[in-house]
Structure 1
Amino acid sequence: MPHTLKLLTIWLLITLVVFLGIQAWERERAASRFQLAGETVVLKRGEDGHFHWPGRVGGIDVDFLVDTGATSTALPQALAERAGLKPLGPVRTFTAGGAAQGFAARADISLEGGVQARALTVTVLPQLGAPLLGMDVLGRLHFSQKPGELRIEPNP
């Protein structure tokens, strides 16, 4: 093998090992933010200062941002399209960034820990950066907050 090809191969292998190591570290870090203690879901505050709850929308893995200030669950339009959600009609809503136009759709949402919402009416917004889990789901649960931790239990 020529010397240059050997060096290129070595650097590619080093890059691959570093990449795989970073991916494993990120997966471990995300998994440590979610814990299940019996029927209680424990979410640890993320580095961004928010609570995240892993789940699925229409079979697609999603990292929901828990938003107790949101009346309804909202999804980015790109995610809704990947999940195959069909528009029910236009909606105008008010977000932290001001008024926004989107559409309503129905989605099957399942969250880690066994929480599910079938045929939930969600708001789909083109400019939304991350999926928001709103009070239409959270209001069905009992939750309490401690410093850096959100504990969620089914309503008795």
Structure 2
Amino acid sequence: MSRSDLPHTFKLITLWLLVTLVVFLGFKYWEREREASRFQLAGGVIVLTRAPDGHFHWPGRVGDVEVDFLVDTGATTTALPQALAERAGLQPLGTLSTRTAGGPAQGFAARADIALDGGVRAQRLPVAVLPQLHAPLLGMDVLGRLHFTQKPGELRIQPQP
């Protein structure tokens, strides 16, 4: 390669890096918009759209920690991964044994302040904290307080009057 080829090669490399950056940023923007469109608030009704993983997700907070709850109508109790409970500063109240879809599980009980997008709140909610759990599960202890209907790909939730 001669010295005269260097500027042309440098320009090509720079151009390809810029194209790659634009594609990457465009994908990230599309991904963020897709995630945001899974939750909508329309006239006091919360609308959750089924995610690509086949589940409904509801953004919220445990204490001051942002979380993305998996809506689990088969769970009696809201359950949190231990790492999340520790980040939220939850204190163990005692050990517990429970049955999950994956089989028996050991963990501890705690109380958590949960705030879900759309204004749904549960203060000092008894929760199960499970070390092997990968995602926070929003159970019927919260969902049972709400009126919800489901149609293909959509879960509509209305707080009880």
User: Could you tell me the TM-score, scaled by structure 2's length?
Assistant: 0.87
Counterpart check, 1:106 vs 2:94: no
CA distance in 1, matches of 2:20, 2:85: 34
**What per-residue deviation string (whole Å, max 9, x for no partner) do you get for residues 37-95 of structure 1?**
11110111111111111111111111111000000100111111111111111111100
Equivalent residue number for residue 48 of structure 2: 43
After superposition, residues 109-124 of structure 1 pair within 5 angstroms as 109-124=114-129
Cα distance, 1:127–1:5 mapped onto 2, change above 3 Å: farther
Identical-residue share of aligned pairs (%): 77
Equivalent residue number for residue 27 of structure 2: 22
CA distance in 1, matches of 2:76, 2:62: 18
User: Could you tell me the TM-score, scaled by structure 1's length?
Assistant: 0.90
Q: Which one is further off, 96-105 or 23-32?
A: 23-32
- Structure 1 outlier segments of 4+, above 3 Å: 1-19
Structure 1 residue runs of 5 or longer lacking an equivalent are: none
Counterpart check, 1:82 vs 2:87: yes
Cα distance, 1:77–1:16 mapped onto 2, change above 3 Å: farther
Measured on the aligned residues, the alpha-carbon RMSD in Å equals: 1.8
- Tell me which structure has the larger Cα radius of gyration: 2
1:110 aligns to what SS in structure 2?
strand
Cα distance, 1:138–1:21 mapped onto 2, change above 3 Å: same
Structure 2 residue runs of 5 or longer lacking an equivalent are: 1-5
2:90 aligns to what SS in structure 1?
coil
Cα distance, 1:11–1:121 mapped onto 2, change above 3 Å: farther
CA distance in 1, matches of 2:147, 2:26: 37
Deviation, 1:121, is 1.0
- Equivalent residues, number: 156
CA distance in 2, matches of 1:12, 1:78: 37
CA distance in 1, matches of 2:9, 2:95: 59
CA distance in 2, matches of 1:43, 1:155: 17
